[in-house]
A and B are shown apart, each in its own frame.
Chain A
Amino acid sequence: MATLADVLDPTGRSSARATDATLAPRPPDLSGLRIGLLENTKHNAALLLEELAGRLEREHGAVAVLRRTKTAFALPMPDELREEFLAECDVVLVGVGDCGSCSASAVADGIAFERCGVPAAVICSDAFTVTASSMAAVQGAPDYAFLTTAHPVAVLGPEAVAERAEQLLPGVLATVTDQAGHGRSA
Chain B
Amino acid sequence: MSAQTDLPTADPDAARAAMEHCYEQGWSDGLPLVPATRPLVDEFLATVDRRPDEVIGALEHLDRSVTVEVAAINAAMAGCRPEYFPVVLAAWEAVQRDRSAKGGGWQSTSGPSPLLVVNGPVRTELGFNSTGGVFGPGFRPNMTIARSIGLIVRNALGVVPHGFEQATQGLPGRWQVCIAENEEESPWEPLSVEGGVPAGTSAVSAMLTRTVEYVDNRHTADPEQLLADFADTLSRTGALIFRNAPAGIVFCPEHAQMLAGAGMSKADVRAWLVERCGRSKADLARVGKDGVGDNGVRFAEGTPSDAVDPLFAADGPEVLPIAVAGARNAGISMVVRVFAGWSASSVPVEGRTTPSAPSPSDPAQRSAS
Contact = CB atoms under 8 A, between A and B. Distances in A.
Contacts of B65: 12
Interface in B83-134: 103-105, 107-109
A131 B36 contact: no
Interface string A1-35: 11010111111110001000000000000000000
B151 interface: yes
B166 A131 contact: yes
B165 A7 contact: no
B104 A105 contact: yes
A101 B17 CA distance: 36
B14 to A, nearest CB: 9
Contacts of A85: none
**Consensus secondary structure, chain A interface:** loop
A3 B245 CA distance: 51
Interface residues of A, number: 34
B166 A6 contact: no
A43 B299 CA distance: 9
Interface in B60-82: 61-67, 70, 73-74, 77
A144 to B, nearest CB: 15
Given A10-B27, A130-B162, A131-B107, A108 B61 contact: yes
Contacts of B105: 74, 101
Given A1-B8, A17-B63, A100 B36 contact: no
B164 interface: yes
A91 interface: no
Contacts of A135: 61-62, 164
Contacts of A13: 64
Interface in B12-31: 17-18, 21-22, 25, 27
24 contacts: A2-B6, A2-B9, A7-B21, A7-B35, A7-B37, A10-B27, A10-B36, A10-B151, A11-B27, A12-B65, A12-B70, A41-B297, A74-B104, A74-B107, A74-B108, A75-B61, A76-B61, A99-B104, A99-B109, A101-B108, A104-B62, A104-B164, A130-B163, A135-B62
Interface of B: 6, 8-9, 17-18, 21-22, 25, 27, 35-38, 41, 61-67, 70, 73-74, 77, 103-105, 107-109, 151, 155-156, 158, 162-167, 295, 297, 299
Interface of A: 1-2, 4, 6-13, 17, 41, 43, 71-76, 99-105, 108, 128, 130-131, 134-135, 138
